[in-house]
Structure 1
Amino acid sequence: MSPSSSSPSVVLSTGHQMPLLGLGTYKLRGADEVSRAVDAALAAGYRAFDSAAVYRNEADLGRALRELLPKYGLTREDVFITSKLGPKDQGERAMEGALHSLSQLDLGYIDLYLIHWPGTQGLQVTDHQNPGNRAQSWARLEELHSQGKLKAIGVSNYTPAHMRELMQSCKIPPAVLQVEFHPRLCQAELRKVCADYGVCFQAYSSLGKGELVTDPVVVEVAKIYERTPAQILLRWAVQQGCPVLPKSSKPDRVQENARIFDFTVSSGDMDRLSALDCGHKYCWDPSEVA
């Protein structure tokens, strides 16, 4: 059984199915907090979980899944696990970094592994070693992909220029680009680049670090559909075919965020939300990375 049997999904260029809804685990720390969130997510129908080396919770996430999957009659193959290479391991330490993620999660393989950031920790963003380090990291991920340890590989926080550079040099194209995406940051150029190359465009920070849930337009649209502003923001993305990764440590919020597949926002209201686009980034800005 694939993750898609439990939740709506997209098909990646690898042929694997990735759920449109995943639990983001940024800032989830400690075995108890991670386990509570994973338990609530599995109960609510989540079948994808997103971690990263820099989140420092890969081991707790892996342990929670090993303990909780049987409770829901699920196996490892029923969930889709994403993790990411830390910027400190960009370049010659990429193999070591990826193998460490595999070991920490201890789930046999990782469904999707991303280069978390186009730069390298310790280098200036303008340092011209960055492109070489990215290329070296990608080559190592290609090796692990060929060995079946990483079922799909991709990138996060890449700009259109970084994407074009990668596409010109890679042997295996990225399956996913994960970036900040919400009505104030519609990423039109980046989405077109992904569409042209057959790369799945995945959203993070769909709520704009919580600031967008109080935007007057979002609040007004939410009232029309009798939904929460968070549900409207998540629906705005998935209705465009973009997978989302809402994060919460509160079980009721985790479950609430999952209720985004039983309604449709009209094209007019989708346009009203998209009209909020002003290019605003709440998170990291990779545009200066060489």
Structure 2
Amino acid sequence: MSAVPTVTLNNAVEIPQLGFGTFQIPPEETRGTTLAALEAGYRHIDTAQMYGNEKEVGQAVRDSGLDRADVFVTSKLNNDAHAHDDALRAFDVTMEKLGLDHLDLFLIHWPVPDKGDFTQTWKALEQIYRDGRARAIGVSNFQPHHLRRLMENSEVVPAVNQIEVHPYLTQDDVRAFGAEHDIATEAWSPIAQGKVLDDPTIGRIADRVGRTPAQVTLRWHLQRGDIVFPKSSTPQRIKENFDLFGFELSEGDMGEISALDRNERTGPDPDRFTG
């Protein structure tokens, strides 16, 4: 089984660069699919309050037989809990559902400024971090202007920014801002909900290297430094998405895939999303 490389966050915490996403996995399927992912070698699980499956993720982690220290678990704050005290209470509920003694990473899921001042939300996350209940804290779907405002009004720089990234939405400006401020980029919707899998450029590269279009796309993410967590409910796909370390894309391959960018989202625009 290939070892997954890690990314060292700005507070020295190490996060596996490849993880397993649980978005849109029904709660009744989550324990089984998460256990299958852990069995395949994944050691990084991404969930959220919004997904409604934190309890089952926690069950899988506990039932896996793995040491807690060997599994990196992320969750995210719901959009209706941006008030400072609401955020603290919501974190307590997350920990109760997960049944774990700490969280590895906790994120503000969306900036949604109409729901409240996310700088005050961040102060709650800073408190959780200082109390040692989360090993790292970060944000999701933040644009550079959101990040600037956050950093101007806080002491802890986010460890990560989880954003939609794939070959049709390369997000070079947001990624560059993150790199400048030592904020790691996590990529959600890494294969654009399957849209890029029929792309002829990716298909041609996949044929040449003897891999699937999904594997080529995920390898592109890894080589450019993204932290990525593909989601699947199929055991074979779960294994296939993990098998990314026996090949490399050339510089030319990387450039061709990056050139597919057309600023096309599969999810909401963070500047327009109101939660």
Say yes or no: TM over 0.5: yes
Q: Which residue of structure 2 lines up, in the alignment, with residue 194 of structure 1?
A: 178
Amino acid at match of 1:77: A
| Cα deviation code 1:20-66 (max 9, x no counterpart) | 110000111234x2222122211221000000001000001101111
Please give the root-mean-square deviation of Cα atoms over the aligned residues, in Å: 1.5
The aligned length equals: 272
Distance 1:60 1:289, change over 3 A: closer
Amino acid at match of 2:100: L
Q: Which residue of structure 2 lines up, in the alignment, with residue 275 of structure 1?
A: 259
The offset of 1:186, in angstroms, is: 0.9
Matched, 1:150 2:146: no
Matched, 1:24 2:21: yes
Amino acid at match of 2:8: V
1:47 pairs, out of 43, 48, 58, with 43
Amino acid at match of 2:246: D
Q: Which residue of structure 1 lines up, in the alignment, with residue 152 of structure 2?
A: 168
Amino acid at match of 1:146: R
For normalisation by structure 1, the TM-score amounts to 0.91
Matched, 1:75 2:71: no
2:110 pairs, out of 93, 109, 117, with 117
Is the contact made by 1:22 and 1:46 (CA closer than 8 Å) also made in structure 2? yes
| Cα deviation code 1:82-110 (max 9, x no counterpart) | 00000011124111111111111111110
The offset of 1:6, in angstroms, is: 4.6
C-alpha distance in 1 between matches for 2:4 and 2:262? 32
| Cα deviation code 1:203-229 (max 9, x no counterpart) | 110110111111111111111111111
C-alpha distance in 1 between matches for 2:67 and 2:96? 19
Amino acid at match of 1:226: G
Describe the SS at the equivalent of 2:197.
helix
Distance 1:78 1:54, change over 3 A: same
Q: Which residue of structure 1 lines up, in the alignment, with residue 143 of structure 2?
A: 159
Is the contact made by 1:36 and 1:251 (CA closer than 8 Å) also made in structure 2? no
Amino acid at match of 1:213: L
1:1-290 aligned at under 5 Å gives the runs 6-31=3-28, 33-68=29-64, 70=65, 74-92=66-84, 93-119=86-112, 127=114, 130=116, 132=117, 134-288=118-272
Q: Provide the identity percentage.
A: 40
| Cα deviation code 1:163-194 (max 9, x no counterpart) | 11111111111000000011111111111110
For normalisation by structure 2, the TM-score amounts to 0.95
Is the contact made by 1:12 and 1:18 (CA closer than 8 Å) also made in structure 2? yes
Amino acid at match of 1:46: Y
- Structure 1 spans left out of the alignment, 5+ residues: 121-126
- Structure 2 spans left out of the alignment, 5+ residues: none
The offset of 1:279, in angstroms, is: 0.8
Find runs of 4+ consecutive structure 1 residues off by over 6 angstroms. none
C-alpha distance in 2 between matches for 1:288 and 1:219? 33
The farther-off stretch of 161-170 and 16-25 is 161-170
Is the contact made by 1:91 and 1:135 (CA closer than 8 Å) also made in structure 2? no
C-alpha distance in 2 between matches for 1:192 and 1:289? 23
